[in-house]
Amino acid sequence: MSKAPSGHTVSSPVDLLAIAYRIEADAVQRYTLLADQMEIHNNPELVKVFRDLARAEGIHAEEIRKQAGDIDLVARAERLGRWQKGESPEEVDLGSAHYLMTPWHALELALAGEKRALGFFTSITETAKDPKIKEMASEFVEEEAEHVNLVYRLMRKYSKPADTWAQDLDPPISQD
């Protein structure tokens, strides 16, 4: 039995699968929310980026669910409870969203989430005593490292916006 950085007790590989599933499911929720925001604010380019990210996380969640076989990971994750220490590692900070943000910024947010997830599973590999948990956590580390690289590759498609990206020539109201 070991304590995950989230405060959850990981007493078996199934617990770890449930936590991994929840990480992906929470990320799907956040990316979908961001895509919805951008849809409302008529930014179709970002809608696509966030929907693609949500879809990718959803695929990961489904893969984890399949790995669990007949075990109901959703129920297991619910029994484990909410994240007791802060937020889910891969969740995007909704407060960082901006109505003028670009795909590059969206990917920057995604990268931060992937790096947190990588750090999360790495810390489990370092602290877990059960070899099965350690082995499974190592597999997740490899996967998350791949995700980090994938986001870096995607970021190369977009050039970094100029520092004035948030400057709005027609702001919501003139404050000066």
Interface residues with another protein (CB under 8 A) are: 29, 33-34, 36-41, 74-75, 78, 82-84, 86-87, 93-99, 101, 172-176
CB-wise, 11 or 96, nearer to another protein? 96
CB-wise, 21 or 133, nearer to another protein? 21
At residue 115, what is the residue type? K
8 Å CB contact between 125 and 81: no
CB-wise, 1 or 100, nearer to another protein? 100
CB of 151 to another protein, least distance (A): 20
CB of 25 to another protein, least distance (A): 10
CB of 29 to another protein, least distance (A): 8
8 Å CB contact between 61 and 28: yes
CB of 31 to another protein, least distance (A): 13
What are the angstrom distances between the C-alpha of 79 and each of 8, 14, 15, 16, 22?
A: 11, 12, 10, 13, 11
Residue with the two structure tokens 């405060």:
7
Phi, psi of 65 (to 5 degrees): -65, -40
Q: 10 Å Cβ neighbour count for 5?
A: 17
Interatomic CA distance for residues 142 and 85, integer angstroms: 24
Interaxial angle between packed helices 13-40 and 73-80, expressed in degrees from 0 to 180 and rounded to the nearest 10: 90
CB-wise, 159 or 175, nearer to another protein? 175
CB-wise, 116 or 141, nearer to another protein? 116
CB of 88 to another protein, least distance (A): 8
